[in-house]
Amino acid sequence: MNFFKNLSFSPIVSRETFGSSFRTMVVLLLIVVFGGCGEDTIKDDISGINQILSTKYDISSAEELARFYHDFLYDSEQGKFTYELSPQTHSRILVVMINHNPVHQNMAAEKFELLVKQNETTWKIVVANRNWKCRDSDEWGIEPCN
């Protein structure tokens, strides 16, 4: 720490204050760089599907809702799906549905993350995000597949 002893930042700021501030800034930068990186996703507009869901009384589970959402997006019932359900606060459920046989030929898999809530008789999608893996990649992302 001899670096701080020879550094003159300001006559009214002590070397210890500057050194402490500098270390704090470095730690915050490292947290942002390493902790802020996650998967890129596309946030879907859910207003149209929620209008349809408000009159749809025959969906009995979060998995059925996720599958209905997929079929609504693609007008297709083909796919090989796996589901993960995670209860959240305020009676919400996080549904992660992965289609291992996606509609688009160059995709290896497509992932849908839906935060859903069941009202008394119907379901509502609170948030819908999706991303995919291309056939030549192991990473989830939103870049077009070649």
Amino acid at 67: R
> Reading across the β-sheet that carries 81-87, which strands appear in turn?
42-43, 123-134, 107-118, 92-99, 81-87
pLDDT for the residue numbered 78: 83
Q: What's this model's pTM, rounded to 2 decimal places? A: 0.72
pLDDT for the residue numbered 3: 59
Beta bridge partners of 110: 99, 132
pLDDT per residue of the chain (146 residues) written in tens, 0 to 9:
555 556 555 567 666 766 666 666 655 544 444 444 568 999 999 999 999 999 999 999 999 999 999 999 998 878 899 999 999 999 999 999 999 999 999 999 999 999 999 999 999 999 999 999 999 999 999 999 98
Q: 63: helix, coil or strand?
A: helix
Q: 134: helix, coil or strand?
A: strand
CB distance 20 to 28 below 8 Å: no
Beta bridge partners of 83: 97
